[in-house]
Amino acid sequence: MKKLCLVAAAVSTALVAAPSFAVDYFGYFRAGTALSSNGTGDANYEKQKVGRLGNENDNYSEFGFGKDLKTGEQTWRVESMIASGNSGTNGWQDGDFNVAQYNVQATGLFSSDKEATVWAGKRYYQRRDVHITDFYFLNTSGTGGGIENISVGNQKLSLALVEDSSSKQKTLDGKQWVQKPGTNPGVEGSWEQQDKYKEDEVKGYIADVRLANINLWEDATLEVAGAYNFSTGTASGNTNVQADDGALVTAILHQNMEAGFNQTVVQYGNSAYGAQMADLGNGGNFDRRDGANNDAQGVRLLNWGVISLGEKWEMGHQFLAARSTDAAISATNRAKTDHDLFSAVIRPMYQWTDTVRTVFEAGTYVENYSNYGNKKGSKLTVAQAFSMGEGFFARPEIRVYGTYLNDRSDSAQLADKSKKNEFLVGVQVEAWF
């Protein structure tokens, strides 16, 4: 009891003596609803391929809290974030709830490199995305630790280890007696012995290496990233993991312009990372269910950015081409296929006043499987929007929109499987702060 009292007193004294620093509050949310010509409500039709504007059917929120604790020349940042998502179909609704981040980032620990940061915890780790399609093309976030922004000349080197135990494989778990189909359980010979299997979590990890700020020419920089996903066995101690390890290599060329920017991204992956290329994976959630993707290879080419088209016009875009070979068709269909994807999205915006704008978005995609059928479709959205300030990324933004969806796939992709077209009228808010 005395020890507990002494600890409590020490903590209280430290809290009173410590200087007070403001807590940072930051986050993101979107919410909306729509009427559908098919009667199915708001839609989410291949938004990473045809664009997200007027094409989202969920409510999603992130609320983060951070505090910088300073001691001498060191800054220890404590950060956390709560994330939640649901369908938004009524006013009081349970949904997915996740403590998405809680980590500590310490900067200034090394006198020789004041910008280097040591971190550990659960973190959104240096994610890279295209906003207009909500496509994260590089995202190895999770629980782990590392050191980032190490100075290597003018470049910055980052090293991290993150856990990725997201898959379960079937592991042999002895024998079991099974009744033969159509037999009487009391008759001799109606039972046979078969192998028994269990779902066994595969322990996977990502070794992430990045080198940023490689200067090329005026206003152009290159970042290269390598992610190696490896396994040490299963949670039950089985070292016979069926899925091969895999590597993902990414090069990001960033070009600043007088009014806007452009990024060109080239990626290569093998094993389950190869399957991710045409399946729009991002470097996390490595598929280790079995060995279906062991021979897979894939490449992806992405160009995106935002440019000014005049005093009142701006436009965002995404052009994407990807190919995977010898990849599993899906999580449930493990047959191998060659998989190709082509996508184009443009979002022009006209700024009427400081707060009033009209936004257009058009997108189309074609997706081919060598032995499974094909998918293709397009989308067109017109939105009248009201934003807090000018600029393509000015938020909060309230939108009233009309969206036309056209699906031309071999198998139905819209919510109403009997329809190939759908028209939506809706309202949505999006904000980050």
Q: What is the pLDDT of residues 58-80, one digit of tens each?
A: 999 999 999 999 999 999 999 99
pLDDT of residue 21: 55
| Buried/exposed code over 178-203 (b: 16+ C-beta within 10 A; e: otherwise) | eeeeeeeeeeeeeeeeeeeeeebebb
Would you say residue 10 has pLDDT above 50? Answer: no
φ/ψ of residue 8, rounded to 5:
-60, -40
Which two tokens mark 163?
């856990």
Architecture of domain 121-167+202-351: Beta Barrel (2.40)
Give residue 220's pLDDT: 97
Q: What is the dihedral of CA 35, 36, 40, 44, to 10 degrees?
A: -90
90, 31 Cβ separation under 8 angstroms: no
| Residues facing residue 234 across a β-bridge | 202
The reported pTM is 0.89
Taking a C-beta distance cutoff of 8 angstroms, is the pair 47, 56 a contact? yes
pLDDT band at 17 (very low <50, low <70, confident <90, very high): very low
Exposed / middle / buried, residue 154 (Cβ in 10 Å: 0-12, 13-18, 19+):
exposed
Q: Who has greater pLDDT, 190 or 419?
A: 419
- In tens, the pLDDT along 246-286 reads 999 999 999 999 999 999 999 999 999 999 999 999 999 99
Confidence of residue 9 (pLDDT cuts 50, 70, 90): very low
**Lowest mean per-residue pLDDT among 39-43, 91-95, 329-333, 372-376:** 91-95
Q: How far is CA 10 from the centre of its chain?
A: 43
Of the chain, the percentage scoring pLDDT greater than 90 comes to 83
pLDDT at 29 over 90: yes
Q: Give the chain's end-to-end CA distance (angstroms, integer).
A: 45
Q: Is the pLDDT of residue 149 over 90?
A: yes
Residue 201: C-alpha distances to residues 70, 163, 207, 337 (Å) = 41, 13, 19, 26
pLDDT the model gives residue 16: 42
Whether 201 and 215 have beta carbons less than 8 Å apart is answered as no
The gap from C-alpha 351 to its chain's centroid, in whole angstroms, comes to 30
The pLDDT assigned to 385 comes to 98
Please determine, for residue 3, whether its predicted confidence score (pLDDT) is greater than 70.
no
Q: Is 399's pLDDT higher than 50?
A: yes
The whole-number average pLDDT for the span 29-39 is: 96
**pLDDT for 179:** 85
pLDDT tens profile 281-316: 999 999 999 999 999 999 999 999 999 999 999 999
Q: Give the per-residue pLDDT at 92.
A: 87
Largest separation between any pair of C-alpha atoms in the chain? 87
The answer to whether residue 46 scores a pLDDT higher than 50 is yes
Mean pLDDT for 44-71 is 97
Residue 39 has pLDDT above 50, yes or no: yes
pLDDT for residue 336 is more than 80: yes
Average pLDDT, the chain: 93
Report the pLDDT value the prediction gives residue 197, as an integer from 0 to 100.
Answer: 76
pLDDT(384) > 80: yes
386: left (phi over 0), alpha (psi -120 to 50) or beta: beta
pLDDT value at residue 14: 43
